[in-house]
Amino acid sequence: MGYPIENLVNGQRNQIISPFQEQSILGLHLLPNKPLGTYCDFSDGLLLNYINQMLMEEDMDEKTHMLQESLDFQAKEKSFYDAIGEKYPPSPQSESAFFSRNSESPDHNPYINPHTSSSSSSDGIIQGRNQDSTYNVDKLSHDTYNESRSVWNFKKGVEEASKFLPSGNNVSSYEGLITLEKKVEPELSPCKRNHRNLETDTEEERSSKLPALYTDIDTLVEEFDAILLNSMGEGRKKFGAYRTDLKNAMSQKKGASGKKGCNKKQNRKKEVIDLRTLLINCAQAVAADDCRNANVLIKQIRKHSSPCGDGNQRLAHYFADALEARSAGRGSQIYKSPVNKRTTAADYLKAYYTSLASAPFKKISNLATIQTIINKTKNATKIHIIDFGILYGFQWPTLIQRIAKREGGPPKVKITGIDFPQPGFRPAERVEDTCRRLARYAEKFNVPFEYNAIAQKWETIRIDGLKIEDDEFVAVTCLYRSKNLTDETVVAQSSRTVVLNLIQKINPDVFIHGVVNGTYSAPFFVTRFREVLYHFSALFDMLEANVPREIPERMLIEREIFAREAFNVIACEGWERVERPETYKQWQVRNMRSGFLQVPFDREIVKEAMEKVTTFFHKDFMIDEHSKWILLGWRGRIINAISCWKPV
């Protein structure tokens, strides 16, 4: 796929270039894992030369085609003269006319050697054609083009490229080019930004695929250390202080609302509006293909919803977007399209930190996983962790930090990070970035470390690609990502069964499996919509009770995680619907069928987990143990479940 050159310079041409040519234009010989700011090998001459080359190749194609037609006609004409026994009269003026029609002057002609006159060149061409009527036009164009390329490039390039660059601007770096674009682009309102034209989307899609955009992780080392190393030392103190700040902010908010009171008329109006019922009625209209009624209900929902309101209003806002996309038949297109504003890994990390402090789901999952591995590897000299769905690997720095303090010295740690390939030119980029970060933590704590990055469809992974050694303690983890594997409603041999069979063949010493306890995988849309509405209502209500409305981390969690998952369930179907959770009881049956035996977590781990939930988190969070699963939920609804297994 190519991109318009108008996204790079201020011109009117719409020449399409490849992404690899694009790097050559900018003079950015990109190396992996380097920020764009470190590359300043961009110059006016290089840009002018490239623009000149594109224009020349475009004109050359047209001229070559016209020359080919002219020579073919004259070859047929000569054959006719030969057949009737008359001498063919050559016409040098025809070739000269051809070049004069398509060139400003003979000096600009890319087919003529600049060291000879135009008339002699034309005579040479005709003479060669008379000697052989099957004259090779392609060879002529290629040879003479190469000979005159430097001279023609200079003259034609300066003239044409000057049309693209504004006068008086010296573009000396990539940053300068971006600054120049920003000066020309008008400021857009928030509403208009959501409906920008295709050119802007194409530019953002191009920018989102540049490797340097992932390097924000590496430039915020201290901030990442403070967030990820939150279970010991200074990191633990900072984490506790942040959790206290969130609680105090929510307490002050409740106190202020109680003192000020509310308008009774406003309360009555709000009580009359039942957004949940409106959403269900709208889903039924969409399912019945009643576009008129669906549009009326969507407008009514939007009137009473907002991404900055309370939990119900925020949920209704994002669900209305999904219903509208499904009604228009554009669910998959919107879900796959690049986001308007790219979420950086640093922003995602802050949202992760907020979720750790406000809800026990990730905190308890990390505790159960890390402590189980540490307890079972007290005598191991090599530990191999195979993580299906590693994402950014935020849970593993704590393991490295803790295992470094083991008596007798730390063991060698190998982590095989597995994730789905990312769109773009570097599908394994995120997994490789995770590798570098974890390697830095291992070096910081003097832990021998090895990493194996795998970015491919999980059902295509083979055991030999996992690089398992005989003397390793192998721990397989899959935390809340198995919901993205296809089930039997999509294909008979589901990816879930294939992956579980693969893990069974690995024969790990322990398999830790965390699942999203969801029932919104039904093939019938209205039934699925009801279930996804109940599930995400609990999540939005949880944030409403624990995180202030105005902080950006909450809006990021709602928009980029919760809303995106709900959008996929509501607006997409078939292979495009990748969010397919099942209940923990269904996963228990799957695991047992694949040859696993469930084992309970250590009692100390369960006891510590329950104490943390009841001591540090909201009273409406629940934690329980059932059928050897640790269950986590909010106000009676089970959200996550985590379990421990070993092969039979």
Dump pLDDT digits (tens) for 103-148. 444 344 433 344 444 334 434 433 444 444 444 444 444 444 444 4
Indicate the pLDDT class of residue 244, thresholds 50, 70 and 90: confident
In the predicted model, is pLDDT for residue 495 greater than 90? yes
Indicate the pLDDT class of residue 342, thresholds 50, 70 and 90: low
How many Å apart are CA 355 and CA 361, to the nearest integer? 8
Pairing of β 449-455 and β 16-17: unpaired
Mean of the per-residue pLDDT values for the chain? 74
Segment 472-498 shows an average pLDDT of: 93
- Number of helical H runs and strand E runs in the chain: 25, 11
- 514 DSSP β-pair partners: 479, 642
CA angle 584/587/588 to nearest 5° reads 85
Q: Please list the alpha-helical segments (H only) found in 106-171.
A: 118-131, 137-161
C-alpha distances (whole Å) from 69 to each of 63, 130, 141, 267 are 10, 16, 14, 81
| Packing angle of the helix pair 19-26, 44-83 (nearest 10 deg) | 130
**Which of 479, 426, 472 shows the shortest CA–CA distance to 453?**
426
pTM of the model: 0.66
Q: What confidence tens digit (pLDDT) does each residue in 589-609 have?
A: 999 999 999 999 999 999 999
As given in the structure block, the two tokens for residue 222 are 């201290």
Between residues 154 and 576, which one has the greater pLDDT?
576
In the predicted model, is pLDDT for residue 255 greater than 80? no
pLDDT score, position 424: 77
Q: Is 368 exposed, middle or buried (0-12, 13-18, 19+ CB in 10 A)?
A: buried
As given in the structure block, the two tokens for residue 299 are 């407008």
Q: What confidence tens digit (pLDDT) does each residue in 532-555 have?
A: 999 999 999 999 999 999 898 999
